Structure 1
Amino acid sequence: MEGHVEIRALERTDLKNIHIINNKAETMRLWFEEPYESLDELTSLYDKHIHDTHERRFVVDIGGEFAGVVELMSIDYIHRTCEIQIVIMTKFSGNGYAQKSLKNGVDYAFNTLNMHKVYLWVDVANAPAVHIYKKLGFEIEGTIKEQFFAGGKYHDSYFMGILKSDYLKK
């Protein structure tokens, strides 16, 4: 792995890079989301959620350069669970940055937010992502048939999770 990888809070100045990510159809398909969001929409969304305690958004920073995002979503402080999402820009893919960034996000969820479980959804056809998640200790807890519509068709999805106790054993 080359370069130092860290995550830091998403700032308004990062929105131009998020806008680039959000407008790549192939990337948004992996997140089961619609591409082509305007910068104005993104800025409005940022303003709306800046103080939302049920979300945390981080920039993946590699040697001072924007490389992607890690998001903790649907943070539930009663049940101590949250969803994690990650995207690494193509320029940085294939260097182990996704795994390190995901680990940083999971560390934050367990060690800072004191979550009990972190979970995610992933397309069953996204073998590279499933591989990374399994390496970090995520387990497939179920397969959900035709859970998401993206790219003109329905996709089956794995629901994967990791418990804090299992994560700390690794």
Structure 2
Amino acid sequence: MADNSTTVNLRPLERADLPFVHLLFNDSQVMRYWFEEPYESLAELTQLYDRHIHDERERRFVIEADDNAVGLVELVEIDYIHRNCEFQIIVAPGNQGKGYAGIATRKVLAHAFGVLNLHKVHLLVDTENHAAVHIYQKVGFTVEGVLREEFFAAGRYRDATRMAIFQRDFLAR
């Protein structure tokens, strides 16, 4: 658990962070939960970064604990008309179980609702990822439904649970 002496912050993703992101994106255990193939070159990540650096529909943050990168949290597909977006998070395997995911989730939701004035933030999570579902529920996300056999990972089709939180519910907490 992140103790009281540990400082957890979010900061914008920078080009210098791409080697760290590259390590995360090439870890099969990590990417299984992002419904993505664990294979991406650093050159490809750099091209994606360059293409999306000014994209107003995305906010990407590095999660730092005591000034060390421990994960990545994103608000993507931001829709300013309907005021919603998708939430995504990765905590590096060596830093999981320390409370960083919950803290980072609360901080990015504070940004989504307090700065971007979004109405709703949603996510998809592997139904069998009980630890993640627990964290999301603890923060205030509620289940909207289950997408059956939505993605293929680790040799079989898996269900995904869609969860969401509204601005009013987050601010009331």
SS of the aligned residue for 2:162 comes to strand
Computed over aligned residues only, the root mean square deviation of the Cα atoms, in angstroms, reads 0.8
Equivalent residues of 2:63, 2:73 under 8 A apart: yes
Aligned to 1:16: 19
Aligned to 1:82: 85
* TM-score (norm. length: structure 1): 0.98
1:64 to 59, 62, 67: 67
Deviation string for 1:14-38 (max 9, x for gaps)? 0000000000011000000111101
The CA distance in 2 between the partners of 1:61 and 1:165, in whole Å, is 28
Aligned to 1:150: 153
The CA distance in 2 between the partners of 1:142 and 1:41, in whole Å, is 34
**Alignment partner of 1:131 is 2:127:** no
Shift of 1:150: 2.1
Deviation string for 1:32-52 (max 9, x for gaps)? 011110100010010011011
State the AA in 1 paired with 2:124: W
The CA distance in 2 between the partners of 1:46 and 1:94, in whole Å, is 29
SS of the aligned residue for 1:143 comes to strand
Gaps of 5+ in 2: none
The CA distance in 1 between the partners of 2:35 and 2:78, in whole Å, is 19
State the AA in 2 paired with 1:98: A
Aligned to 2:116: 113
Question: Size of the alignment, in residue pairs?
Answer: 170
4+ runs of 1 displaced by more than 3 Å?
Answer: none
Gaps of 5+ in 1: none
Shift of 1:152: 2.8
State the AA in 2 paired with 1:66: A
Equivalent residues of 2:63, 2:71 under 8 A apart: yes
